[in-house]
Amino acid sequence: MLRVTISGAPGSGTSTLVAKIKQSTGWNSLNGGEVFRTEANRRNLSVVEFSELCKQDLDVDRSLDKLLKDAMTQSGGPEIIESRLAGWWAHELAINCLRVWVNTSDEERARRVQNREGGSFEQRLTESTARQSADKERYRVLYDIDLDEMTPYNLVVNADNLTADEVYSIVNSAINGG
């Protein structure tokens, strides 16, 4: 049974947060990025090639999102789903769970990705800003979703000046009813 969704832009720390929640609770999780990478592999495409296909054929995106929605409503499904739109789907499906958005600035995400993957800050900032802009437009066209709209989330954590442990502490408190 779904207990929590974790959402945020790439580089916001959602994967780290999910790992910490899993470690403390023993819950299972489903990562939307993993679903994406698995489908790319199944089609013998690189992630970049598959991303381009998704931009050109919106039905591919819709099919991946359907997989996530189905996982949310399955009995015996994961307790945690991490995906940019997981909170939106849980809200629309009226699933009673904690819906978390980890909010970070373009600059902070660029710093985090640079620390993780290298490259120049300017390069990572340009990539982060471009990806966020493209994703915002795609989700608007696909579902009329505004990624800046936080209404579906019952917890928004502004993580720019927080450590991973501090973000986890806030979310863990909410999970435990605090």
Q: pLDDT tens digit string along 63-120?
A: 888 988 999 999 899 999 999 999 999 999 999 999 999 999 999 999 998 998 898 9
| The total number of structural domains that make up the chain | 1
Q: Is residue 114 part of a domain?
A: yes
Is the model's pLDDT at 46 over the cut of 80? no
Domain housing 90: 4-172
Residue 42 backbone phi and psi in degrees, to 5: -60, -30
Q: Is residue 117 part of a domain?
A: yes
Q: Which residue has the tokens 């999970």?
A: 175
Q: Is residue 44 part of a domain?
A: yes
pLDDT for residue 132: 84
pLDDT for residue 131: 79
103, 157 Cβ separation under 8 angstroms: yes
pLDDT for residue 83: 94
Q: Mean pLDDT, to the nearest integer, of 143-161? A: 95
Closest listed residue to residue 13, CA positions, set 161, 177, 174: 161
- CATH (domain of 87): 3.40.50.300
Please write the tens of the pLDDT for every residue from 3-35. 999 999 988 999 999 999 999 999 999 998 888
43, 131 Cβ separation under 8 angstroms: no
145, 139 Cβ separation under 8 angstroms: yes
Helices (H), the chain: 14-25, 32-42, 47-56, 58-73, 86-92, 106-117, 121-143, 164-175
Q: Is residue 177 part of a domain?
A: no
Residues 80, 5: Cα–Cα separation, whole Å: 6
Q: Mean pLDDT, to the nearest integer, of 127-137? A: 84
Residues 75, 7: Cα–Cα separation, whole Å: 22
Q: Is residue 59 part of a domain?
A: yes
Residue 122 backbone phi and psi in degrees, to 5: -60, -40
This prediction has a pTM of: 0.90
61 or 24: which carries more pLDDT confidence? 24
Residues 26, 29: Cα–Cα separation, whole Å: 10
Q: Is residue 109 part of a domain?
A: yes
pLDDT for residue 34: 84
